[in-house]
């Protein structure tokens, strides 16, 4: 196994093209050891998403993959992000991602800051033109900043990597996969990291991250 992990993926439980087990199988073939299924969520579908993915864990183990039940809190009013993130944890979410202020969607201003100051958030996805202030908050609250391969969202990868590195933030490289063509093998994932401006040693560290990083921070 390569030790690869992807902490941000989608299935037919929201707007993805693959049913969950197909995603898991394809990730297994690519050599992944863990994958978080983080379908788009708001207060109406939290319980459904988390319970659904929990049912997949045994099948994931049969393919040699640790499946993490997660959610991507999407277009949540910033003031409500902490309470909905807390609800996600109470329902058993193992990975809580916030849909950040990408430059290609009308995400509410203040979403990045709300996520970066929330102790129940693991990852701020595609943060767009994240500010230094928000990056500092992310470091202090141990919220990882995402470098993404997702088309459009990846326009600001270089900025995210530069600000995140400068402020000492944890960086992750995720696919934000919605279909089979979005999945990354090890070479492609390394290229995304390099393309964002990370050095080879930084790329190696980022690609070596696994679920233990997030498990430890929640203890």
Domains of the chain by range and CATH?
A: 4-217 (3.20.20.140)
> ∠180-129-152 over CA atoms, to 5°?
30
Q: What pLDDT shows up at residue 215?
A: 82
Provide block-wise average pLDDT over 10 residues at a time, the chain (219 residues). Answer: 86 98 98 97 98 98 98 98 98 98 98 98 98 98 98 98 98 98 97 97 93 81
Total Cβ atoms within 10 A of residue 98: 30
pLDDT for the residue numbered 1: 42
Q: Give the model's pLDDT for residue 219.
A: 66
Whole-number Å distance between alpha carbons of 7 and 170: 13
pTM greater than the 0.85 cutoff: yes
């Amino acid at each position: 196994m390569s030790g690869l992990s992807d902490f941000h993926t989608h299935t037919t439980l929201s707007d993805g093209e693959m049913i969950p087990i197909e995603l898991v199988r394809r990730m297994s073939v690519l050599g992944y050891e863990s994958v978080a299924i983080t379908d788009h969520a708001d207060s109406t579908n939290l319980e459904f998403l988390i319970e659904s993915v929990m049912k997949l864990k045994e099948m994931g183990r049969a393919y040699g993959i640790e499946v993490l039940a997660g959610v991507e809190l999407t277009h949540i009013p910033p003031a409500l992000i902490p309470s909905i993130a807390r609800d996600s944890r109470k329902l058993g979410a193992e990975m809580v991602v916030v849909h950040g202020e990408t430059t290609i969607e009308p995400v509410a201003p203040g979403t990045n800051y709300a996520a970066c100051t929330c102790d129940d958030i693991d990852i701020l996805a595609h943060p767009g033109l994240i500010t230094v202030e928000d990056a500092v908050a992310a470091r202090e609250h141990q919220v990882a900043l995402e470098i993404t391969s997702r088309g459009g969202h990846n326009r600001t990868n270089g900025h995210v990597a530069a600000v995140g590195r400068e402020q000492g933030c944890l960086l992750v490289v995720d696919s934000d996969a919605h279909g089979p063509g979005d999945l990354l093998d090890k070479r492609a994932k390394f290229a995304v990291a390099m393309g964002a401006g990370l050095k080879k040693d930084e790329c190696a560290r980022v690609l070596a991250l696994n679920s233990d990083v997030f498990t430890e921070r929640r203890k």
